[in-house]
Amino acid sequence: MRRHVNSSFVRLLTGLCLGLCLLWSQIQADDYVLAMLEKVRQRYGEEAYQNVMRMNEMFAQVAGASEMTKVHMVNDFTNQHVLFVDDITLWGMEDYWASPLETFGKGAGDCEDFSIAKYTLLKKLGVSQDKLRLTYVRARMPSGSIRPHMVLTYYATPNSDPLVLDNLNFELLPASKRGDLSPVFSFNDKGLFVANNPNMRAGSPSNISKWRDVLTRMRQDGLE
């Protein structure tokens, strides 16, 4: 009898903890969108405000959803609501990494901006950064040329074949199916990782100056 009671109590406690974790991640997501709404209308106008309102709707749709559903929804949402524009045209610079506020405010960005936006939104939706990598690759284009590119990769488990969230190919595919991409290195908030071993740290992400700059702007905006 005691064993049955203890087992039932553990299940109840586990369920309560899971529910509280989901609620907390949703509160964080809601706070993030509200903070972004206040700033985006002031800086970028009504069209940008509506873009972030659609983000709020997407967040509401995935509340309590599985992690895989969140990955799919964030990938689709970002690819649908951000237009690819190169940095020279958009920012007047050769290489500028935009914060999500800037990306959704402009409604445009390049590969780094798509990837950073997806990374940030998934974190706000409760996906552990340990499962996410901003990944630099060499991408083989349809013309046969090779160009530097960035994608977001999602690892369901530490040793799984990661899914690739990309703005060139919108289909969510495992890395093993993306023969057009050759990894160079990856990073997240916690570390810098070698190309073919996402569990082997090669340094600190603070060594990447443009990443430091993005995080600084996000903190200044109260969005980190």
Domain locations along the chain: 2-220
Could you tell me the CA-to-CA distances from 52 to 26, 32, 71, 184 in Å, in that order?
Answer: 16, 11, 18, 32
**Res. 107: pLDDT tops 60:** yes
| Mean pLDDT across 47-69 | 93
What is the pLDDT averaged over residues 188-193? 92
Q: Quick one: average pLDDT of 91-101?
A: 96
- pLDDT band (50, 70, 90) for residue 7: low
pLDDT at 5 over 50: no
Please tell me the predicted confidence (pLDDT) of residue 30. Answer: 74
**In the structure, what pLDDT confidence band is assigned to residue 29 with cuts at 50, 70 and 90?**
low
pTM of the model: 0.86
Count Cα neighbours of 29 within 13 Å in the Cβ-side half-sphere. 26
Task: Tell me what pLDDT residue 6 has.
Answer: 57
Q: Which CATH number fits domain 2-220: 3.40.50.970, 3.30.460.80, 3.10.620.30, 3.40.605.10?
A: 3.10.620.30
Question: Which pLDDT score is estimated for 27?
Answer: 43
Q: Percent of the chain beyond pLDDT 90?
A: 72
Q: In what order do the strands lie in the sheet with 173-174?
A: 173-174, 163-165, 146-154, 132-140, 181-187, 192-194, 197-203
pLDDT value, residue 194: 86
Task: Say yes or no to pLDDT of 18 above 50.
Answer: no
Range of 20-29, 169-178, 188-197 with top mean pLDDT: 169-178
